[in-house]
Amino acid sequence: MSLFEIVLPTYNRSEAVKFLLEKYNKFFGFYDFVLSIHDSSTNDETEKLVKSNSFYNKGIQYYRYPSELDVDSKTLMCLKNSTAKYSMLVGDGWIINVDSLFNSKLLDENFDILCLYDSNIKIYREYFNKNIKHKKIYDSKTKFYEDNFWYLIMYGSSIVSRKVLDSIDVLDLCNKYKELGFIYPSSLVESNAEILTADSLNLLTKNPHKGEPGWMLKRDAINTWTRKFILSFGNMNDSYLPEDTKLKIIKTTGKRTGFLTIKGLLILKSKDNFNFKIYKKYKQYILQTKACSRLSIFMINLFPTFILKIMLWFFKKIFR
């Protein structure tokens, strides 16, 4: 059994995977880790790329999934297929600095879930420097989810032990959250695991070949994220999480992930995936997140798409 596994789900982004392989190849043989690539692409470009790599079946593992498999089921299947003592689910938009992770000795700690933040990323630094110094074990699980639930829905923010993954009942969770989503963070919430937080020590860097997430460009992106997230969270931990705590977590998660912020809505609108009709349909869920005001939503829907694309370009230049 390897000590660490990078669990990488991907879909139709062979260029991103190619860049990642170039980065990871130099670490094989020096550290006790494996890279497992979980591919649900509609073509075979990623498969050919992986299987032609010199480390295929030596440090790199490849799994193929049906293209129509939903992202939540795929996420759980990826993790259940992992074999290492610790596994980290990370999207193809991020690169893990393997040497930084192993040199930090974080994997020597005894934890069930290690929730990471990067003090070099502005939004993380501003928040965590006020709340957490270096590393912390939460005594209150409720307090942890108030502070950190948004990390659990982000690929590349938590390392999970084999013990936790083995305890996850995939069929039970898929049945409980049927028609909803966010099964991965829900499974961690319900695992009764010991949670450690720590600075990731420059652990993550962005993959320049990432592109926009495929699910965000789909017509039902608002439903996928907002409605399903809120209903899923309302379905978990009814036994001990008060309603006001759930609402607080929904609000902080909505703001920190950026999905329904002005920038997030600009992306959706620029792809013709957000309008007054969609807003009316999901209004109660959108407003619960408190990530964007009614006025901002109105203005975004008022402007023509070409104007919004210019605004989005400026946003990316200023806040990249």
CATH number reported for the structural domain that contains residue 24 in this entry:
3.90.550.10
d(CA 220, CA 179): 13
Give the residue with greater pLDDT, 188 vs 15.
Answer: 15
Ranges 23-37, 153-167, 215-229, 306-320: which has the least confidence: 306-320
Three-class SS of residue 15? helix
Alpha helices (H) along the chain? 14-24, 45-51, 71-81, 98-104, 122-131, 141-152, 162-167, 170-176, 183-189, 221-222, 228-234, 243-257, 262-270, 276-289, 294-302, 305-319
Residue 261 DSSP one-character state: S
Asked if the model's pLDDT at residue 130 lies above 50, the reply is no
Angle at alpha carbon of residue 153, lines to 313 and 33, rounded to 5°: 100
In a shared domain, residues 178 and 232: no
Residue 4, φ and ψ in degrees, nearest 5: -140, 140
Which two structure tokens, joined as six digits, stand for 293?
Answer: 């005001």
Give the residue with greater pLDDT, 165 vs 305.
Answer: 165
Residue 31, φ and ψ in degrees, nearest 5: -130, 155
User: Considering 179, 206, 233, which residue would you say is the last residue of a domain?
Assistant: 206
In a shared domain, residues 61 and 201: yes
In a shared domain, residues 237 and 185: no
In a shared domain, residues 222 and 199: no
In a shared domain, residues 10 and 52: yes
In a shared domain, residues 230 and 196: no
d(CA 233, CA 227): 10
At 62 the pLDDT is 96
Tell me if 258 sits within 8 A of 268, measured CB to CB: no
User: Considering 152, 187, 206, which residue would you say is the last residue of a domain?
Assistant: 206
CA distances 207 to 55, 60, 138, 182, 315, Å, are 21, 19, 31, 24, 19
In a shared domain, residues 183 and 46: yes
At 85 the pLDDT is 94
d(CA 97, CA 23): 9
Residue type, 67: S
Total domains, the chain: 2
Q: What is the mean pLDDT of residues 280-304?
A: 87
Q: What is the mean pLDDT of residues 170-181?
A: 74
Ranges 18-22, 117-121, 200-204: which has the least confidence: 117-121
Residue 197, φ and ψ in degrees, nearest 5: -110, 150
State the pLDDT confidence band at 32, using cuts at 50, 70 and 90: very high
Domain encompassing residue 200:
4-206
For 216-250, write each residue's pLDDT tens digit.
Answer: 666 778 887 888 888 877 766 555 567 787 788 88
Q: At what angle do helices 243-257 and 276-289 cross, to 10 degrees?
A: 120
At 96 the pLDDT is 84
In a shared domain, residues 167 and 145: yes
Q: Which of 54-58, 103-107, 226-230 has the highest mean pLDDT?
A: 54-58
Give the residue with greater pLDDT, 178 vs 75.
Answer: 75
Tell me if 10 sits within 8 A of 17, measured CB to CB: yes
Asked if the model's pLDDT at residue 115 lies above 70, the reply is yes
Which two structure tokens, joined as six digits, stand for 63?
Answer: 């799994």
In a shared domain, residues 200 and 57: yes
Asked if the model's pLDDT at residue 55 lies above 80, the reply is yes
Tell me if 220 sits within 8 A of 24, measured CB to CB: no
Contacts of 255 (CB under 8 A, 6+ apart): 261, 289, 290, 291
Contacts of 302 (CB under 8 A, 6+ apart): none
Asked if the model's pLDDT at residue 210 lies above 70, the reply is no
CA nearest to 64, candidates 46, 38, 44: 38
d(CA 237, CA 206): 33
In a shared domain, residues 138 and 68: yes
**Does residue 272 come out as left (phi exceeding 0), alpha (psi in the -120 to 50 range) or beta?**
left
Give the residue with greater pLDDT, 66 vs 258.
Answer: 66
Q: Which of 9-23, 93-107, 157-171 has the highest mean pLDDT?
A: 9-23
In a shared domain, residues 62 and 199: yes
In a shared domain, residues 302 and 184: no
d(CA 248, CA 220): 25
At 166 the pLDDT is 85
Q: What is the mean pLDDT of residues 243-259?
A: 78
Q: What is the mean pLDDT of residues 46-55?
A: 95
Q: Which of 116-130, 171-185, 198-212 has the highest mean pLDDT?
A: 171-185
